[in-house]
Amino acid sequence: MAVVSRSWTVESLGVGQPDYTREIFAGRERAGIALDYNQQFRVFASEWITTEVEYPFVTGYTIAAGAKRHMRDSDTGGLLPITILAGRTLSIISIAYAVTQDIRVQGYIDAEYPYGVALNLGVLGGGQQSYENKIREVSTTWYDPTAALDHSWDVIVYNEGGGDLYGGAALLCIEEAIGTPPWPTTKEVFCPYCNYKQIEPITATRITCKKCGKDYMVTNFASLRRLGG
């Protein structure tokens, strides 16, 4: 028995021009970041906020006009500066600011020594926000490609405005190990109430201070293997 089939042409309708929307978007935003086995995320951030009566544990923390604040390691709560150990590199890959006053943000690498450097990480007017994806915007590899030495790392925010500064700032970085032992499984955290230091697992986020007994939280970026995408 013969099988009869029919075929016909279906008109393809469009907008009359190629659609490059996805390509344009991909060019503007990083699709995602997947780390190699020898890399981990580091985030340095600070929030400057008002006291909120509805939440008694939220206390005001700001930068007075003409004053400055060091940023914090988000995973430990400790204030910068920190030391990037020999055998490791640190590179900034994104920067974000949103503030109520004019600010100037400076990074410092080995600045306690005559050969150290100060780097401009941003100048922003009050009432504005800024977010930038960067490829090796600032990196210790600029000055020590083989990571042969320890390096101090600090970020300071300066209030250039006429009043108290509120808002926030964050730097997303990648720390990379070059021929060194595996990443540590613990971290030293800092209590925001009494400044007591204690050792906790690298994955710990909710901490009970062993000195004052109060609870606080830190982040766990070091254990993440991918962001976005």
pLDDT tens figures, 121-149: 999 999 999 988 865 468 999 999 999 99
Using the predicted structure, report yes or no on whether residue 107 has a pLDDT greater than 90.
yes
Domain hosting 209: range is: 34-227
Contact 105, 121 (CB under 8 A): yes
| Alpha carbon of residue 32 to chain centroid | 15
Domain membership of residue 218 (yes or no) is yes
Closest C-alpha among 189, 202, 172, 181 to residue 90: 172
Tokens of 137: 């915007």
Using the predicted structure, report yes or no on whether residue 40 has a pLDDT greater than 50.
yes
pLDDT in tens, 59-89: 889 999 999 999 999 999 999 999 999 999 9
Closest C-alpha among 100, 132, 140, 137 to residue 120: 137
Domain membership of residue 16 (yes or no) is no
Contact 116, 56 (CB under 8 A): no
Domain membership of residue 148 (yes or no) is yes
Give the span between the Cα atoms of 205 and 161, in whole angstroms: 34
Domain membership of residue 10 (yes or no) is no
CATH classification of the domain holding 46: 2.60.120
Tokens of 216: 């606080």
Using the predicted structure, report yes or no on whether residue 50 has a pLDDT greater than 50.
yes
Task: Give 81's contacts (C-beta < 8 A, 6+ positions apart).
Answer: 70, 108, 152, 153, 154
Using the predicted structure, report yes or no on whether residue 112 has a pLDDT greater than 90.
yes
Using the predicted structure, report yes or no on whether residue 206 has a pLDDT greater than 90.
yes
State the pTM of this model. Answer: 0.78
Tokens of 155: 């970020």
Give residue 182's pLDDT: 77
pLDDT in tens, 168-191: 999 999 999 987 777 889 999 999
Q: How many distinct structural domains can be found in the chain?
A: 1
Buried-exposed string 165-195: b where 16+ CB fall within 10 A, e elsewhere: bbbebbbbbbbbbeeeeeeeeebebbbbeee
Domain membership of residue 11 (yes or no) is no
Tokens of 161: 């405005």
Give residue 30's pLDDT: 54
Q: CA-CA distances (angstroms) from residue 90 to 33, 75, 84, 201?
A: 16, 15, 7, 22
Give residue 24's pLDDT: 40
Tokens of 33: 């970041």
Q: How many CB atoms lie within 10 A of CB 17?
A: 6
Give residue 229's pLDDT: 54
Give residue 22's pLDDT: 38
pLDDT in tens, 7-39: 555 444 444 444 443 344 334 445 567 788 889
pLDDT in tens, 147-165: 999 999 999 999 999 999 9
β-bridge partners, 148:
none
Give residue 135's pLDDT: 53
- Name the average pLDDT for the chain: 86
Domain membership of residue 20 (yes or no) is no
